[in-house]
Homo-oligomer: A and B are copies of this chain.
Amino acid sequence: MSDLNSVLAHIDGDVDGALERLFELLRIRSISTDPAYAADCRACADWHVADLRSIGFEASARETPGHPIVVAHDRSAPGTSALFYGHYDVQPVDPIELWEKDPFDPMIETRADGSRAIRARGASDDKGQVMVFIEACRAWKAVTGKLPIPISILIEGEEESGGVNLPPFLAANAEELRADIGLICDTNMWDPATPAIQTMLRGLCGEEIIIHAADRDLHSGFYGSAAANPNRILARILSDLHDADGRVTLPGFYDGVPELPNSLRTEWDALNFDAAAFLGAIGLSVPAGEKGRSALEMIWSRPTCEINGMGGGYQGPGFKTVIPAIASAKVSFRLVFDQDPHAIRESFRAFVRARVPADCRVEFLEHGAGQAIRFPIEDAAFRKTRDALTAEWGKPAVFIGGGGSIPVTSELKKALGMDVVLAGFALEDDRIHSPNEKYDLHSFQKGVRSWARILDALAH
């Protein structure tokens, strides 16, 4: 039996152990955006350090102005070196009342068709996907005593909350962290049977605006119409962000956004994406984006602007005839091709300022920025990964675009000069960022086997 086959057999025999370790990790409430969970985030980092040390990595939790970053190395093998990136933090769980179970009490659920899923916040994004990589390393060490290639691992704790501390950390530790190729497991399969490598990723620019009007809440009967209402100012700003055709109206927003090359358009058309089913699965039926663009094109290769949160005034039960002193919104832009997140932030701020009356003021809070990215799919690491995935899943792996942003990919390129192979096993129905997040047991088991194969392929 080849080393690889022994490793795969070992993985199949250790599923219960692997799940036990994942469940320990899932029980830690590492919600990075909420300061109330800072100690949990640290506990999560410490858990990874102890686990990685137990399989022979030199591992430590490094301090940052925010949550710690886990760094681990095992570079005893020769050959192409890799830096694996993941994150241990998770999204908030609200609205908590929509969860069927405690989001931090993981369990295996069996569905009507007999298939099983791991249910917990972070099961898919990204704790489950981090552990499929670590379990592959564990199996290689258990069977052969070593890893197939030199591997470093970096697991941050602020991916879901802006990640402002990662870029300076990468820059400050570039020598230590640099490798031949980056590996990330934070993406989806094309469908439950078809593995995929994401080679285009949208960037992100997140911004919060707070409109300040009167110096106190006012009675709308006594001050209504005469005094500025920040809700109305905010609604006008947010409404003005799109025109009637669904295009974003910010000046310069579409600079650096070319039409899709025909070759890629042809490849994507061949995927036979079912837009009606995509919307139908979430209870919708009318494409809401730019007129004249397919849903797949919009999600993979068009920039967007979304209002992720907004609020002002009385939102409790009943009614209160108040004009609030402030109103605020969280707005994010998904970016493609050569759009510059910083230029777009400035354009947005100017756009907002122009719509704030002279006696009101606006406060801006920055929430992360990352440029869109495309990887050189002709390079060896991409070809080897595709072949390994194809061997595991028995179906050709596809190169796809992606709607979500993984800002770290452009930071890795910028700080360390590395390309990144994005191979993930999440599925569209994993409900990441939503109540009742899950990760299919099938994704987990074959995910570990896939990474075992990819590490082997990169060694040859």
Contacts and interface: CB of A to CB of B under 8 A. Distances in A.
A304 to B, nearest CB: 4
A432 to B, nearest CB: 6
A400 interface: no
Given A226-B279, A299-B224, A218 B404 contact: no
Contact of A404 (B216, B222, B328, B428): B222
B214 A283 contact: yes
A243 to B, nearest CB: 11
Given A226-B298, A312-B310, A218 B282 contact: yes
Contacts of A299: 222-226
Indicate how many identical chains form the complex. 2
A246 B225 contact: yes
Interface stretch (A39-47, A133-141, A318-326): A318-326
A213 interface: yes
Interface string A175-219: 000000000000010000000000000101010100001111111
Interface string A325-343: 0011110101000000000
Contacts of A367: 318-319
Given A216-B435, A224-B304, A358-B285, A322 B309 contact: yes
Contact of A403 (B222, B240, B328): B222
Given A225-B299, A236-B239, A308 B220 contact: yes
A367 to B, nearest CB: 4
A225 to B, nearest CB: 3
Contacts of A97: none
Contact of A311 (B242, B288, B290, B310): B310
Contacts of A433: 217-219, 320-322
Given A216-B431, A228-B288, A286-B357, A327 B298 contact: no
Most buried by B among A227, A234, A278, A321: A321
A121 interface: no
A214 B226 CA distance: 37
A230 to B, nearest CB: 9
B162 A319 contact: yes
A395 interface: no
A6 B319 CA distance: 44
Interface in A160-182: 160-162
Nearest to A366: B319
Contacts of A435: 216-217
A316 B94 CA distance: 10
A335 to B, nearest CB: 11
A259 interface: no
5 contacts: A98-B216, A222-B403, A232-B306, A284-B359, A311-B311
Interface of A: 32-35, 91-92, 94-95, 98, 160-162, 188, 202, 204, 206, 208, 213-229, 231-232, 234-236, 238-242, 246, 275, 278-279, 282-290, 295, 298-299, 302, 304, 306-324, 327-330, 332, 334, 357-360, 367-368, 402-405, 428, 431-435
